[in-house]
Amino acid sequence: MPTSKIDETGWYTRVSGILGTRFPIILGPMRLITMGAMAAEVSNCGGLGVIASSGLSADSLRAEIKTALEYTNCPLAVNIPVYRPNALESLEIAIEMGIKTIYTSAGNPANMIKRIREAGLTVIHKVSNEKTALKAESAGVDAVVAMGFEAGGHVGREKITTMCLIPRLVDILSIPVIAAGGIADARGVVAAFALGAAGVEIGTRFVASTECPVPDFFKAGVQSADSEATLLLGKDEMPIRVLKNHVTMKVSGMLDNEADSVMAKSGDASYVQSGGNKDTAVMPCGQIAGVVGKSIYIREIFSEIIHESRIVSHKIKEVLLSVNEEEI
């Protein structure tokens, strides 16, 4: 087990306040990957562990929440893609089992908000453009996770990068914005705060963590990636950013509509958690994989980010505060 310690007491922002966490750092929900044990470890490190309900039966979701609650007393969330037929059932399970934050995505959260509020829970919602962000705010969510085009997994059709999406949403929303997409280390975290985000969500970096329950060939793919290692599948319909390999290069070489229908037909069968190998599995991955080094424990990732954010901030301060404004 990791030996490093996270000694800082925490970073207080509107997001850590709302979530009740020590750090405003969120584990990006990942289908059939961010299950109970991994989510609990992120929560134990002071972040928000998120259990992805996508692809889980009611019994499996209950089992994953139970596992998480056995490992941690810290805040946890359940991610519920709104469009899924079992979304309301997943919500009732989360409420019944004492989860305090519901993290909605992929659809309009409006029809779930009343029930979430009745149960006294917090709700955050994932968006990738300003129209859905404004809708989520008027529906009454507590914060949005704004995910840029460089992220791993499904990305916005509008192709807006984190660098442009975050400051724009910070300007037009009153609720806090959590930045996602392209954040893997302290440099990304500090940059997100500079853009006005009050929290960050990390996906790809955690795929390579020791505890992440993906096959070793997936972790190796993330670790050996460069900045051109990903491509988009399902381009205009439902774009998804994945690692380049034999199968994804083949599919992406087809006409768009053919590619979409291949993805639709192969469905879950080709997703990495359903089988395959380094050449045949579809592995969602962000462009930031290029900076992910060796596989380390989640606790070490937290410790590194927290420690190095201080160093990065000091360096920036030295440059930006060196000028005497009266001399300008």
302 and 25 Cβ atoms separated by less than 8 Å: yes
Nearest Cα to Cα of residue 30 among 242, 198, 220: 242
- State the minimum distance, in angstroms, from the CB of residue 42 to ligand FMN: 12
> Nearer Cβ to ligand FMN, position 11 or 149?
149
In the complex, the residues that contact ligand FMN under the rule CB under 6 A are 28-31, 33, 52, 54, 79, 105, 126, 147, 150-153, 180-183, 201-204, 207, 284-286, 288
- State the minimum distance, in angstroms, from the CB of residue 93 to ligand FMN: 17
| Locus of tokens 């989640």 | 298
- Phi and psi for 243 in degrees, rounded to 5? -70, 145
> Nearer Cβ to ligand FMN, position 38 or 52?
52
Closest residue to ligand FMN, judged by C-beta, is 203
Cβ burial of 291 (10 Å; 0-12, 13-18, 19+) is middle
Question: Distance between CA 318 and CA 53 in Å, rounded?
Answer: 44
Q: How many CA atoms lie within 13 A of 176 on its CB side?
A: 20
- State the minimum distance, in angstroms, from the CB of residue 110 to ligand FMN: 18
> Nearer Cβ to ligand FMN, position 70 or 268?
268
> Nearer Cβ to ligand FMN, position 185 or 260?
185
Question: Distance between CA 190 and CA 284 in Å, rounded?
Answer: 25
Nearest Cα to Cα of residue 51 among 42, 70, 64, 63: 64
- State the minimum distance, in angstroms, from the CB of residue 201 to ligand FMN: 5
- State the minimum distance, in angstroms, from the CB of residue 135 to ligand FMN: 17
- State the minimum distance, in angstroms, from the CB of residue 87 to ligand FMN: 13
Question: Distance between CA 118 and CA 92 in Å, rounded?
Answer: 12
> Nearer Cβ to ligand FMN, position 74 or 82?
82
In this structure, are strands 76-81 and 101-105 parallel, antiparallel, or unpaired?
parallel
Is residue 271 classed as helix, strand or coil in its secondary structure? Answer: strand
> Nearer Cβ to ligand FMN, position 54 or 101?
54
